[in-house]
């Protein structure tokens, strides 16, 4: 018996444990990568994400408060207008003729209306006239007429009826965006009062023709001056108005009543 006990004690430990599984000790592993699980770090990460999104949200917050109705019988034009204005953050509705447009205006009273002049059933002029007769709350609605290229008579007729602006097709979308924003701000009472900025007669002439879609070379021929002179006056006007693009200069001058295109 003693010898058996000694043999057992001399037996290697691996033999003593044969037939039984010995679990390996658990060693905690630190997570890899950038996924930190500490609450304080997680809160900081969430705060940074919110701060990054705040800038984009702020740029659209003002626009999202305004609604625009686009009235045009051209399916392609009305869809392009709706998509472009929606990208700027506006709530956009559409109508394919003046009668449907008038019904939507009376029902929903959008903040601004873009309306084509020539449409079946009811054109832009009749729609404008009906709105002016509907009551004082509709007289104040900003309405921008869309006219064909070079249709000066339609533009004059629209302005006599009280249209706030007239833009010619094909539309310069950058110009449209600036005009729409300025009109909405003025209608909402947040626009600046009439500017004290003074533009010379020649600077106004140049901006008027720029607003009508003319190039510097074409304006030079119309005014009987050199192209260099046209560019000089345009640059001076942009400096006075505090903008960096011609289209912005035209839109700002229009919104402040300095010119009428």
State the 10-residue block means of pLDDT for the chain, 261 residues long.
44 42 49 46 46 42 74 94 92 94 91 93 91 82 85 81 86 89 76 62 93 93 93 90 87 86 73
Ordered domains of the chain (ranges, CATH): 63-187 (3.40.50.2300), 201-255 (1.10.10.10)
- pLDDT reported for residue 64: 52
**Which stretches does DSSP call E strand in 96-252?**
112-116, 143-147, 165-168
Inter-helix orientation angle 227-241/201-211, to 10°: 100
- pLDDT reported for residue 242: 83
Cβ distance 227 to 184 under 8 Å?
Answer: no
Nearest to 110 by CA among 80, 71, 77, 145: 71
Nearest to 181 by CA among 19, 1, 60: 60
- pLDDT reported for residue 43: 46
94-97 long-range Cβ contacts below 8 angstroms, 24+ apart: 94/69, 94/70, 95/69, 95/70, 95/71, 96/71, 96/72, 97/71, 97/73, 97/121, 97/122
- pLDDT reported for residue 150: 66
- pLDDT reported for residue 57: 44
The pTM of this model reads 0.54
- pLDDT reported for residue 149: 67
- pLDDT reported for residue 214: 92
């Amino acid at each position: 018996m003693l010898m058996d006990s000694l043999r057992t004690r001399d037996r290697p430990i691996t033999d003593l444990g044969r037939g039984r599984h010995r679990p390996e000790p658990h060693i905690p592993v630190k997570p890899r990568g950038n996924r930190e699980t500490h609450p304080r770090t997680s809160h900081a990460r969430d705060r940074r994400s919110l701060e990054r999104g705040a800038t984009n949200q702020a740029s659209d917050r003002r626009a999202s408060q305004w609604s625009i109705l686009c009235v045009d019988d051209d399916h392609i034009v009305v869809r392009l207008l709706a998509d472009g204005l929606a990208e700027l953050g506006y709530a956009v509705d559409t109508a394919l003729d003046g009668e449907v447009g008038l019904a939507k205006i009376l029902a929903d009273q959008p903040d601004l209306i873009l309306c084509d002049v020539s449409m079946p059933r009811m054109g832009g002029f009749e729609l404008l006239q009906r709105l002016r007769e509907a009551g004082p709350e509709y007289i104040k609605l900003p309405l921008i007429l869309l006219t064909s290229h070079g249709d000066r008579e339609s533009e004059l007729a629209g302005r006599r009826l009280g249209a706030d602006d007239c833009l010619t097709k094909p539309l310069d979308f950058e110009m449209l965006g600036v005009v729409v924003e300025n009109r909405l701000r003025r209608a909402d009472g947040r626009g600046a009062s009439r500017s004290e900025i003074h533009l010379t007669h020649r600077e106004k002439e140049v901006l008027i023709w720029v607003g009508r879609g003319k190039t510097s070379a074409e304006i030079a021929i119309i005014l009987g001056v050199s192209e260099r002179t046209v560019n000089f006056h345009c640059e001076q006007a942009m400096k006075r108005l505090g903008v960096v693009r011609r289209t912005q200069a035209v839109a700002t001058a229009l919104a402040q009543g300095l010119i009428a295109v």
